[in-house]
Amino acid sequence: MNNISRVAILGFALSASSLYPAQSTPPAAPSKPAPKRSQGVLDYALGKINPDNKDYGNSAADARSELVGYTIQNIYFWSNVLSLSLLAATSTALVLILRAQDKREIIAANLISQLWNGRVIDRREIVRRTGMYNTLVETKNAALNQTPSPNREQPSESQAAEQPSQKQTGKKTRVPSEAAAPKSPASHTEQVETGIAPSGELQQKTTLLQGQNQALRNSERNLRERLNQVSQDLEQERRRNQTLKGA
């Protein structure tokens, strides 16, 4: 009986001790969410621009390192740069040479056209003046045939044989309009002195022809001066092109 009571008292004490700490612990308060920090305008804008919080500085550094590795530290890059530089230099030189050739061709064409035009004009003037000279010669020969000398004595038999040759020395011959130019004033004066003195109209025509011949000589001299000037310009252009090629 005593043992049973002891066991009962021990069990009650253990149960009471187990219940006491459970009642002593206060109930836990319900957890509340932490208050959020207010965001500013700058934080909001940065959040919209970079929502994933990506480090663009490291990305740029990685891209730069890759670019340097593919270009500056790559020998194929420098070989390509050298090849393209040589191609560009060759193309530029070819363009300059073509431009110089075009200029040379233009200058040569202008020179040839000026010479041809001068030759055509001179030939036309020569033909015209040759026709005028031949007309003057025919007029003078007709005057010599129609006006015999009144003071001339009757020729003897020996002089009769020489008379045709003397008449021929007093006459002038025509100049072919396509083959030869008018004779010089000196030869014309000699032929006039051997025959009968020309009339005033013939002297005026002779003076006019001499003045035209002088003008033709002046035009020819001017044309030669222009030719020399164009030749000098062409030589200067050729030297300038050689200098550009050497550079």
The answer, yes or no, to whether residue 24 has pLDDT greater than 70, is no
What is the tally of structural domains in the chain? 1
Contact by Cβ (8 Å): 133, 175: yes
Give which of 183, 187, 174 is closest to 209, Cα–Cα: 183
Residue 30: inside a domain: no
In a domain, residue 61? The reply is no
pLDDT of residue 105: 92
Q: Which whole number is the average pLDDT over 99-105? A: 92
pLDDT(95) > 90: yes
Tens of pLDDT, residues 124-173: 988 888 888 888 888 888 888 876 555 444 444 444 444 444 444 444 45
Q: Is residue 190 part of a domain?
A: yes
- pLDDT confidence bin for 191, thresholds 50/70/90: very low
In a domain, 64, yes or no: no
pTM reported for the whole predicted model = 0.36
**More confident: 41 or 199:** 41
Q: Please give the Cα distance from 118 to 138 (Å, whole number).
A: 30
207 found inside a domain: yes
pLDDT, position 14: 64
Domain that holds residue 230: 100-143+175-246
- Which residues neighbour 118 within 8 Å (Cβ) at sequence distance 6 or greater? 223
